Amino acid sequence: MRSHLFFGGPATRTVKSLIIVNTAVFISQLVFRFLFGSRLIEDVFGLMPARVTYDYALWQFVSYMFLHGGIGHIFFNMLTLYMFGNELVRYWGPRQFLAYYFVTGIGAGLCSWIVSMHSISIVIGASGAIYGLLLAYGLTYPNRIVYLNFLFPIRVKWLVIIMGVVAFLSSITGSDPGVASIAHLGGMIIGYIYLKGRYWRARYSEFNAQRRRDQLKRQFEVYYGDVRRKIDRDNKN
């Protein structure tokens, strides 16, 4: 069983692009906040469940993923994206990776909206998608070793379980009622459903392909049997 410390490897274009976009949006937030004294970007593009419910601000399910609440927030999200995202890009390919990233991010936002449709709290951050990436990495490379808090070696599968439990507990004990934590947990749940759905779709396609092969085989055997019988009759005559 092979395990090793993993820092993400060489950066892929896909991950670099996501980091650049998130950083650019965060700088825009800082400019509006400190130069103009405005939180316009967060108000318009952050996910406010009440606005989705009453004003149909559906774009917020996507835009909230690119906003962050502070230096620490964006730093750890982008660090996790770099550490775990690059290898998933190389394993899946950019298109599949981006599809998964946005499905988990949007799904996490939907989970936050479902549990608190009338909340005026604003949810921002790529954490839902990041938690989804953690889950995918844990399922793909469960025995890889990372350092928790850069100190304690731990297998990725246990890290994913710990973070899932923490997100779940936070979601049921949080103050408003755990909207952001629901996004974290939702990213994992949506990611699991998405990945398992791909697995079962692949199994179903394989089953159908095998069934078609069996049908063709039976048809050929019937046809071949008829031909052989005809040949035998002709030879007897």
Over the stretch 152-178, which tens digit does the pLDDT of each residue have? 788 888 888 887 777 666 655 554 444
Average pLDDT value for residue range 91-102 = 95
How far is the C-alpha of 33 from the C-alpha of 129, rounded, in Å?
25
Task: Return the percentage of the chain with pLDDT > 90, whole number.
Answer: 47
Residue ranges of the alpha helices (H) in 9-154?
A: 13-30, 40-45, 49-55, 60-63, 71-92, 94-115, 127-140
Does the pLDDT value for residue 2 go beyond 50? no
Angle at 76 between CA 70 and CA 77, to 5 degrees: 90
Average pLDDT value for residue range 79-89 = 92
CATH number of 13-199: 1.20.1540.10
Q: How are the residues of the chain apportioned to helix, strand and coil, as percentages rounded to the nearest 5?
A: 75, 5, 20
Helix 94-115 to helix 71-92 angle (10° resolution) is 130
User: How many of the other CB atoms lie within 10 Å of CB of 100?
Assistant: 21
**pLDDT tens, 97-149?**
999 999 999 999 999 999 889 989 899 999 899 999 999 999 998 888 877 66
Q: How far is CA 30 from the centre of its chain?
A: 27
Quick one: pLDDT at residue 3?
40
Does the pLDDT value for residue 206 go beyond 80? no
56: phi > 0 → left, psi -120 to 50 → alpha, else beta; which? Answer: left
Quick one: pLDDT at residue 37?
87
Of 46, 50, 49, nearest to 67 (Cα)? Answer: 46
How far is the C-alpha of 83 from the C-alpha of 85, rounded, in Å?
6
Could you tell me the two tokens for 219? 């048809």
pLDDT band at 221 (very low <50, low <70, confident <90, very high): low
Could you tell me the two tokens for 109? 């936002």
Quick one: pLDDT at residue 178?
46
Flag the least confident range among 16-20, 144-148, 223-227.
223-227
Quick one: pLDDT at residue 1?
37
Average pLDDT value for residue range 27-35 = 92
How far is the C-alpha of 190 from the C-alpha of 109, rounded, in Å?
11
Residue of 19 and 199 predicted with greater confidence: 19
Radius of gyration of the chain (CA): 25
Domain map (residue ranges) of the chain: 13-199
Beta bridge partners of 145: 5, 155
- Whether 15 and 86 have beta carbons less than 8 Å apart is answered as yes
The one-letter amino acid at 77: N
